[in-house]
Amino acid sequence: MKRYLIFLFSAILITSGSLFGQGCEEPDASSDGDASIKPKIIGFIQPQYEYHFTENEDIVGSKNSNTFKFKRARIGVTGKIPYDFSYYVVIENSAFVSSTGAPYLLDAFISYRRYSWAKVSVGSFKQPFGLEVNTSCSGLHTIERAMVSDQIVAPQRDMGIMVFGDFNDKMFKYSVALMNGRGLGTKDNNNKKDLIGRVVLKPLDFLSVGGSFRYGYPMTDTVTRTSLAAEIEVNYSNFRLQAEYIYDEGDYNTAAGGGCGSDPILLGEKRGGWWAMAMYKFYFNLEPVIKVESFDSGDAAGYGEFITTFGVNYFFNDNVRLQANYRYRAETNKTNSAEIPNDALLLQMQIKF
């Protein structure tokens, strides 16, 4: 525990706001300082159509597949309690995300927000690790997060306590959390905790750079896990460029699952990857997007993927959006370089409320 306290104290001294996408939605910044106790209903739904190009000419009877689903269907409540306290609760209702098909509690935390440079939250929330994971789910620029984000930053949500804040007009932002390391709805099975943190520096109005770390014990009291990430974002006029690199080594929780219902894959001792994305929003609310990503599982077979996503977003207004993505997936391994037929066309409609 002494090691955790030293890391926590050092991080605050170095970095000393913003919530970094702590829940699935960004909080209403205009409510800061409001003494009203009236709750606000929040949420969004994302009905989606998928066409998977899975037909394999080498396998008799294989066919392409398609389906309708809900990527996410979330509803919650947020509000403030005089003075300086706030609450945030969200339930996931999509049967396609839950492993059991039943609704479950996603985010539920209480925050003390008197000081912008040192706020505190306790409960269930996102790990403060990575740019893409801490982008609100309704604010993602592509329908799917990068594979490295879903597979390495797992579990993406957990129980714990977090100190976060900003200073110098949000030029510096930080988050440092102490969390169970086991994921949502799972009882902690050891006495150690995960230490997770993220810091972002904004040296110019259009440029942000940052980094994240995680050190923990995902399965036992003795075997550790270490994760590191570096990020950059350029946001100039209607053009935006984002990129992130994530490295991970050591033990991992095979039962934690991937992000937003993605299936976890076998990982080796050392694994990681990167993603980069560029987009431009035209004056008529059309936003083309291109995203490239690389993932290395680090397993003995050398399995990895290189994925290119070609997309376009259309914004009917601030709360209604249509996304279309084509995902080209190329697999690599040590024994067989043949690609698996698994490209996909995704169409998603989103309404926020």
* Per-domain boundaries in the chain: 2-352
For residue 324, give Cα distances in angstroms to 146, 244, 287, 289, 306.
Answer: 16, 23, 11, 10, 20
For residue 118, give Cα distances in angstroms to 61, 97, 164.
Answer: 59, 33, 6
- Spatial distance between the Cα atoms of 353 and 346, rounded to a whole number of angstroms: 23
Q: With contact defined as beta carbons under 8 Å apart, do 218 and 181 qualify? A: yes
pLDDT at position 183 over 50: yes
pLDDT at position 45 over 70: yes
pLDDT for position 9: 36
- Spatial distance between the Cα atoms of 83 and 114, rounded to a whole number of angstroms: 8
Tens of pLDDT, residue by residue over 127-168, are: 999 999 999 999 999 999 999 999 999 889 999 999 999 998
- Spatial distance between the Cα atoms of 46 and 310, rounded to a whole number of angstroms: 19
- Spatial distance between the Cα atoms of 184 and 271, rounded to a whole number of angstroms: 23
Residue 218 neighbours by CB under 8 Å, 6+ apart: 181, 182, 194, 225, 251, 252, 253, 256
Tens of pLDDT, residue by residue over 70-88, are: 999 999 999 999 889 999 9
The architecture (CATH level 2) of 2-352 comes to: Beta Barrel (2.40)
